[in-house]
Structure 1
Amino acid sequence: MGAAVANNFDSAFDFRPGAQVPLSGAAGETAATHALASAAYRDTDVDELLKANSEWHKSEIKKGKLSLFKPDLGEAFSRAVQVRTLGGGRKPLIQSFGTEPQAVVEHCLAATGIRKQRDSQLTVVMGVFGVLFLPGLLIWLLIFQARKWISDQKDKRAQALSTALLVGAGGLLLLFLIRLPFTGLAGLYLRAMIVAPVIGWLLAKQICERTAKDMRLRWESLLAGGGIGAKIPEAVPTNPNETAAERLRQGLAHLTAEQQSNSVFYAGPKGILGMGTRWGSWQLAEELTPREPGAEIHPFRSWDVIRAIHDQLRLLERGPLHTGGFPTPSIRHWIVTPVGENAKEVARPKGTDVEAYQIKGHEIQRICNEQQFGSGDRHYLGVQFRLWDGQLVITMLITVTVLHHTLRIEVTGHALGPVHALFTTKPKAKVKEVAKTVRFWETKEVKQPLVGTTDVVRLAARAPFTWYPPLLDFLGGKLILPEPFGLRHAWADKPWRHRFMADDALRTATPVLRVVHASALKVLQENGVDTERWDNRSLILSGLVQDPTPRKADVYDA
């Protein structure tokens, strides 16, 4: 699936030789991508994800009807991301700068596929050892539901009570087996009704443990560098009748194309969605006066200044000394659409001036020259550095406006920090500290199963309902993603607590500002503008940017 797929969503099936199963272990993936993708394989409590909420973007956990059906973090994350990015009639997505969103979604699909294989086996176990002995199964499920409800009270006495409940219930059932008043076939069935779910639980435990080891291996592999790719054979249609596979393939193509869009959204104090908040702003505004008295300025447009700045920004990685310096930045023209601070969705531009989510060049020029005041979209030239393997995204935006006789050049800095530390934690073995047999005053750690008793029951109870995920959402609850949703900014931390990341963001401002000013002044000189006052203003700004201080530049105290 190449670039043609992304640009032609309605193309016919492609059955040419060499079709590949999508893999996410390809070159170009970053630490941020792997960290987010690892969430699909995690088996921790889903409530842990709430710790990654930020000031502006907050996830929610919608509770279900029965806590026994509650999903874990990986199940909830995979389900929510798949529905949000590939669901029919989905809302537009925000670009995930510094990551590959398709790779994250592919890992969610791969994790879901592994769980479906496990659930198919668990469903068979539930059918043989549960449904055939339904009364006994319901008794055990009620006991575990009560135990889970009590243990969720977060009280030591309640947790002790939950353990006592399980032991007491087991004792009563054992007594029931021994002193059962029925004989014959009815007696055998009643005894089997109590024992069969326990045998089923033992088999289910082996299935769950085996799958948990596989999932944790993938989780750890991603954080270690991404050794195991996400294989999604269901995304490759093998015949024209596989419409589901074709829809999935096109959904992934849409996702990739939208990631390349040059349309972004400004959400007030939240900054430009996907690029982070605005931390600094420097403006150079001065009157346009002719250099020669009585002469006229040669007519030029904002686009002429922007184009000159663009050409010089492409040389940022070059310097007079061999000291490393800047990596090659991404330089693009952006069309920025304003949205409300609390907007829950965005609408991407449509029409003849848009193709495959890309606003065409002639429309970009028109917006740059004509839409500088009043309603409508605005044009910004952006230079973006994706550093620290995608964990830091620095974007400097430049806009040029002309109102009456005043030309204004504005440079703003945006920074998107690393993904929350929750996503970079590696799996830990489950251990229990116990006293040694001889030296009882010393303790040792004993390895515990990856899947606990209650978790086995939970997974076995959920398994038969995986054929209809909305029912599982109703019974167990689901993850509500922050809107407008983008994989990268939804769980981004601030970069200012990281010494070197903060330094990188602050050090970017000065050279970019000077290149912008030098390029703009050259255009003014070529068109007969008196640049003496411009030079003075530029020198003042150059001094102010020597020690830039990050602040919430979009939060006005007015």
Structure 2
Amino acid sequence: MTVDGGYADFFGPQVPRTGDEGQTPTFALASAAYRDNEAKEILKANNEWHKSSVSEPKIALFRPNLGEAFSRAVIDRMLGSGRKPLIQSFGTQPQVVVEHALAAHRIRRERDNWLTAVMVLCGLLFLPGLLMWLLVFQIRTTIAKRPDKRAGALATTLLIAVGALAVLFLIRMPFGGFWGWYARAAVVAPVVGWYWARQICERTARDLRERWDSLLSGTSVGAKVPEAVPSSPGEKAAEELRQSLARLAAEQQSNSVFYAGPKGILGMGTRWGSWQLAEDLVTADPDREIHPFRSWDVIKAIQDRLRMLERGPLNTGGFPKPSIQHWIVTPIAENATEVARPEGTDVEAYRVKTHAIQEICNKQQFGAGDRHYLGVQWTLWDGQLVITMLITVTVLHETLRIEVTGHALGPVHSLFTTKPAAKEKEVQKSVKFWETRKVKLPLVDADEVVRLAARAPLTWYPPLLNWLGGTLTLPEPFGLRHAWADQPWRHRFMADDALRAATPVLRVVHAAAIKVLEENGVDTEKFGARSSFLSTAVQDASPRKADVYEA
């Protein structure tokens, strides 16, 4: 995928095609854009290293729900002008998630346009009555949020009492003439507008919930984002959105990653294992010197052997085809809030060029600077598990060191894989009072209609709406996949897959390296002995926090 290609090149598939990797986490994350839960529900998905936050609303009526907050936050963070660099989402297709966030935002925008018209006709023209009803619902919402079990009943009683007073006011109007009729209309018009708005809200809520359910059921509902496809050269907004999506796709393909101390390599997960083979370079023939070679020569031999991992002497399934890539790893502080990708003539479309990679591999092995790693990566469990084994080769003085490290990124939090539940509650039966029955509740209740109608006019100016209602703050440095990933060790088979990958990779790496040493006249006896020892030790592999150094 290129940034400067035709429309078909940059505007990728809106839904992952059959056989594509990462469908489950992609759809799970995309479904968050259509959800109608409370925004604070997303805090349950926070993990040890990456924590999102939801700010408290200044006025409860203007608070966003989870779908609204998620869509707005993802769009602004991933497509906004002047945005910070993103972390790659391995095992996921972030462009699909962003397109669903845009589609959900578009559906809500159409709903809000209708609700704004309702607010003008039934609210703004009868402002005193609208303000009175909004004040009642604001007080009711505040009371209902209290932990006291009687708060809900008290809030409902308040609404009934105000309704009774409104009816009494209509019957015993204290004054007549034009203002009398206007006062009556000011009481009734917001109620009529509420019924009208309820129909609009229910229609949209059904659409959003169907998309939420379809994504998690695997029916692959498409994300319609016509505003991202310019129909003429003069459509500046569409062109900017197109370029933003192109940048997102290009950054996802970057070969530059960031190591953040105990957090591991961002996007790949924490380092759970490390095995090092380090021995002196001694000539095999005392009469001859070692033939000069470089770290890159060893790395290339290892890369060639890693391509054979999917083949074996027995037809047992075994490894699927891995992704093998050279990575440039940049160190950042553990609590860094942003990253800076490499720039300059050695970088093209967020990718470090091959000659620069080779130079880093051979020369930057000690002191400050980026480091080179060769990575072999598997995306398993339909994208829910990403296993990455990284190999680096260094030569200091007469010692050659080959280090293999294991990284594992687990499934997305279960919050994102929950399907929409029917809104219902249990009540006691009228006759058999010792038994209960389930009663279906409206898809959109009275409070929700008022909240959506109150927010609708302000959606035209998001900064004011965000200030009044609060926002979702994403964890930084931000990447869609690692921000809400669980550890794989709680899932027995995922843990087994991660641990089993270490032994064959380690043996292939050592065999390839020893062959290069032999070809260049190095005595490999000590290397072979050390390799045998590590080959035995790796069979008892167990996950640990390899990046937490304890004195």
Give the counterpart letter for 1:451 in structure 2. V
**Paired residues of 2:11 and 2:246 also in contact (CA < 8 A):** no
Among 89, 102, 109, the alignment partner of 1:96 is 89
**Paired residues of 1:15 and 1:238 also in contact (CA < 8 A):** no
Q: Distance in 1 between matches of 2:478 and 2:11?
A: 29
**Aligned residue runs from structure 1 range 446-465, under 5 A:** 446-465=439-458
1:416 aligned residue: 409
1:24 and 2:15 are equivalent in the alignment? yes
Aligned residues: 549
1:179 aligned residue: 172
1:160 and 2:153 are equivalent in the alignment? yes
How far residue 158 of structure 1 moved from its aligned partner, in angstroms, is: 2.5
Deviations 1:273-326 (A, max 9, x none): 000000000000000000012321000000000000000000100000000000
1:302 and 2:298 are equivalent in the alignment? no
Among 3, 10, 13, the alignment partner of 1:7 is 3
Give the counterpart letter for 1:67 in structure 2. A
Q: Distance in 2 between matches of 1:365 and 1:266?
A: 20
**Aligned residue runs from structure 1 range 9-408, under 5 A:** 23-27=14-18, 28=20, 30-408=23-401
1:499 and 2:492 are equivalent in the alignment? yes
Deviations 1:157-176 (A, max 9, x none): 33332222212222222222
Among 508, 525, 533, the alignment partner of 1:532 is 525
How far residue 118 of structure 1 moved from its aligned partner, in angstroms, is: 0.6
Give the counterpart letter for 1:480 in structure 2. T
Deviations 1:1-37 (A, max 9, x none): xx2xx332xx7xx689x99896225342510100000
How far residue 184 of structure 1 moved from its aligned partner, in angstroms, is: 1.9
1:427 and 2:420 are equivalent in the alignment? yes
Give the counterpart letter for 1:7 in structure 2. V
Stretch of structure 1 that moved more, 548-557 or 22-31: 22-31
Task: Please give the secondary structure, in 1, of the residue aligned with 2:372.
Answer: strand
Go from structure 1 to structure 2 and tell me whether the alpha carbon gap of 1:555 and 1:20 turns closer, same or farther (over 3 Å shift).
Answer: closer
How far residue 437 of structure 1 moved from its aligned partner, in angstroms, is: 4.2
Task: Please give the secondary structure, in 1, of the residue aligned with 2:237.
Answer: helix
Deviations 1:506-548 (A, max 9, x none): 0000000000000000000000000111111000000000110
How far residue 155 of structure 1 moved from its aligned partner, in angstroms, is: 1.7
Percent identity of the aligned residues?
Answer: 70
Unaligned runs of 5+ in 2: none
**Paired residues of 1:24 and 1:106 also in contact (CA < 8 A):** no
Q: Distance in 1 between matches of 2:67 and 2:50?
A: 20
How far residue 400 of structure 1 moved from its aligned partner, in angstroms, is: 0.2
- With structure 2 as the length reference, what TM-score do the two structures score? 0.98
Q: Distance in 1 between matches of 2:60 and 2:258?
A: 38
Go from structure 1 to structure 2 and tell me whether the alpha carbon gap of 1:489 and 1:164 turns closer, same or farther (over 3 Å shift).
Answer: same
**Paired residues of 1:21 and 1:235 also in contact (CA < 8 A):** no
Task: Please give the secondary structure, in 2, of the residue aligned with 1:380.
Answer: strand
Unaligned runs of 5+ in 1: none
Q: Distance in 1 between matches of 2:107 and 2:322?
A: 39
**Paired residues of 1:22 and 1:232 also in contact (CA < 8 A):** no
**Paired residues of 2:112 and 2:459 also in contact (CA < 8 A):** yes
Task: Please give the secondary structure, in 1, of the residue aligned with 2:540.
Answer: coil
RMSD over aligned Cα atoms: 1.5
**Paired residues of 1:416 and 1:495 also in contact (CA < 8 A):** yes
**Paired residues of 2:89 and 2:267 also in contact (CA < 8 A):** yes
Q: Distance in 2 between matches of 1:493 and 1:280?
A: 18
Task: Please give the secondary structure, in 2, of the residue aligned with 1:300.
Answer: coil
Give the counterpart letter for 2:318 in structure 1. G
Deviations 1:350-393 (A, max 9, x none): 00000000100000000000000000000000000000011000
How far residue 62 of structure 1 moved from its aligned partner, in angstroms, is: 1.4
1:482 and 2:478 are equivalent in the alignment? no
Task: Please give the secondary structure, in 2, of the residue aligned with 1:549.
Answer: coil
Give the counterpart letter for 2:434 in structure 1. W
Stretch of structure 1 that moved more, 439-448 or 401-410: 439-448
